[in-house]
């Protein structure tokens, strides 16, 4: 398996060198390869521990379970269920993402025992008060951005491609992102986010990559630092499980209602 991938990569790399590509084409090719490698996981689940820190160093942690279902030809479906803090325990967020179209999103509120559909044009606000916006952690679809290859660069010990991503969907909080993609595993190592006035807003560092079912690299730790307000958020992703046999029904509004 690995050998096949290596061959494909080398062929791809040779072809990148061989043809006179524009930076846009090269950027797209790199991200297409990232996307290709992430595809085919069918479904997955993991625990997410989100620790928020303010400029005084005070912190607070939220825990939620995330289940994802891969959808061919459309964006993935995802359910997040809060475990803590206690007062939001059981609150669940269901998202059907749709590439360039606004996503569909529902919330289940145990205190009201009701499902609320919420408008999703606003994905740029902070997710549960953290430094992550919903758009930062939502399912990544290739067509959501246009790309431009910038340069090759050593990022510490990692040999990376540096690619600029420009949001193609409306209402993004960013003008652009600059992403460092590890040439070996085709996964992001770092993303810089530029705000609407094109000033550096945040930096996201990916680390603790682990290989799952011999194919999928997932970062175990994501740290988002906001340069403007001095706050930061650490996201730990633990206990990844793949191919759990989830079905469409598990990601329906009815299922949300019955979630624990």
Partner 1 sequence: MVQAYAQYILQQRWLIVVLCLSLTALAGYGIQYLHFKSDYRMFFSEDNPQLMAYESLQKTYTRDDNVLLVITPADGNVFTSRNLAVAEQLTRNLWQTPHSTRVDSITNFQHSYADGDDLTVKDLVINAAKLSDAEIAQIREYALNEPLLVNRLVSPDSRVMGFNVVIQRPGVNLDTETRDVTRFVRKQADQLKLQYPDLDIRITGSVMMDTAFAEASELDMRTLTPAMLAVIIVVLWFLLKSAWSVLAATVMITVSLVAAVGLAGWLDIAFSPSSIPAPTILLTLVVANTVHILTGYYKLLAKGKEKIQAMADNLSGNFKAIFFTNLSTAIGFLSMNFSESPPFRDLGNITAMGVGIAFMFAISLLPALVVSLPAPKNAFSARSNQLWERLANNILLHGKKYFILLSVLVMALIACIPLNTLDDEYVKYFDTSVQFRQDTDYTTDHLTGIYRIDYSLKSGAEGGINDPGFLRTVDAFAEWYRQQPETIHVFAITDILKRLNQNMHGDDPAWYRLPETSEMAAQYLLVFEMSLPYGLDLNDRIDVAKSATRVTASLHSISSQQVIDLEKRAQSWLDTYAPEFAHSDGTGTTLLFAHIGQRNIVSMIGGVLFAIGLISVLLMFVLKSASIGSLSLIPNLIPAGMAFGVWALLVGQVGMASSVVIAMTLGILVDDTVHFLSRYQYAREQLSLSPEDAVRYTFITVGAALWITSVVLILGFLILALSSFKINQEMGMLTAIIFALGLLADFLLLPPILMFIEKSKACSANKKSLRIQSATTLLK
Minimum CB–partner distance for residue 105 and partner 1 (Å): 8
Of 40, 100, 125, 257, the one binding partner 1 by CB under 8 A: 125
Is 40 a residue that touches partner 1 (CB under 8 A)? no
Minimum CB–partner distance for residue 252 and partner 1 (Å): 15
Where residue 242 falls (left for φ over 0; alpha for ψ -120 to 50; beta otherwise) is beta
Distance CA 62, CA 144 (A): 28
Is 257 a residue that touches partner 1 (CB under 8 A)? no
Is the CB of 11 or the CB of 55 nearer to partner 1?
55
Is 129 a residue that touches partner 1 (CB under 8 A)? yes
DSSP 116-155: EEE--S---SBGGGSS-BHHHHSPP-GGGEEEEEEEEEEE
Over its C-alpha atoms, the chain yields an Rg (Å, rounded) of 19
For residue 147, give both structure tokens: 């790309």
Is 56 a residue that touches partner 1 (CB under 8 A)? yes
DSSP 12-66: HHHHHHHS---HHHHHHHHHHHHHHHHTT--EEEEEEEEEEE-TT--EEEEEEEE
Of 33, 78, 98, 127, the one binding partner 1 by CB under 8 A: 127
Is the CB of 2 or the CB of 260 nearer to partner 1?
260
Is 202 a residue that touches partner 1 (CB under 8 A)? no
Is 229 a residue that touches partner 1 (CB under 8 A)? yes
Contact 226, 202 (CB under 8 A): yes
Distance CA 7, CA 108 (A): 46
In three-state secondary structure terms, 257 is: helix
Is the CB of 54 or the CB of 247 nearer to partner 1?
54
In three-state secondary structure terms, 106 is: strand
Is 64 a residue that touches partner 1 (CB under 8 A)? no
Of 21, 35, 124, 146, the one binding partner 1 by CB under 8 A: 124
Minimum CB–partner distance for residue 137 and partner 1 (Å): 12
Minimum CB–partner distance for residue 187 and partner 1 (Å): 26
| Cα 156–chain centre separation | 22
Of 16, 71, 115, 155, the one binding partner 1 by CB under 8 A: 115
Minimum CB–partner distance for residue 1 and partner 1 (Å): 39
Q: Given the rule CB under 8 A, which residues bind partner 1? A: 52-56, 58-60, 82, 85-88, 91, 93, 105, 107, 109-112, 114-119, 121-122, 124-129, 133-134, 171, 173, 195-197, 199, 227-231
């Amino acid at each position: 398996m690995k050998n096949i991938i290596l061959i494909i990569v080398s062929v791809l790399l040779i072809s990148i060198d061989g043809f006179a590509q524009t930076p846009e084409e090269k950027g797209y090719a790199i991200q297409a390869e990232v996307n290709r490698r992430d595809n085919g996981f069918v479904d997955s689940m993991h625990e997410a521990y989100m620790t928020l820190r303010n400029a005084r160093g005070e912190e607070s942690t939220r825990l939620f379970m995330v289940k994802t279902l891969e959808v061919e030809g459309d964006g993935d479906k995802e359910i997040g269920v809060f475990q803590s803090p206690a007062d939001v325990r059981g609150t669940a967020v269901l998202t059907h993402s749709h590439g360039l179209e606004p996503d569909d999103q529902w919330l289940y509120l145990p205190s009201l025992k009701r499902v609320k559909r919420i408008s999703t044009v606003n994905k740029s606000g902070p997710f549960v008060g953290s430094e992550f916006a919903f758009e930062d952690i939502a399912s990544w679809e290739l067509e959501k951005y246009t790309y431009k290859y910038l340069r090759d660069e050593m990022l510490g010990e990692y040999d990376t491609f540096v690619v600029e991503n420009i949001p193609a969907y409306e209402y993004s909080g960013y003008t652009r992102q600059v992403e460092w993609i590890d040439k070996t595993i085709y996964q992001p190592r770092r993303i810089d986010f530029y705000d609407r006035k094109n000033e550096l807003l945040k930096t996201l560092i990916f680390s603790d990559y682990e290989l799952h079912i011999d194919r999928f690299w997932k970062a175990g730790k994501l740290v988002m630092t906001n340069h403007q307000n001095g706050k930061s958020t650490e996201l730990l992703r633990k206990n990844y499980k793949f191919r759990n046999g989830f079905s469409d029904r598990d990601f329906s509004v009815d299922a949300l209602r019955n979630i624990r």
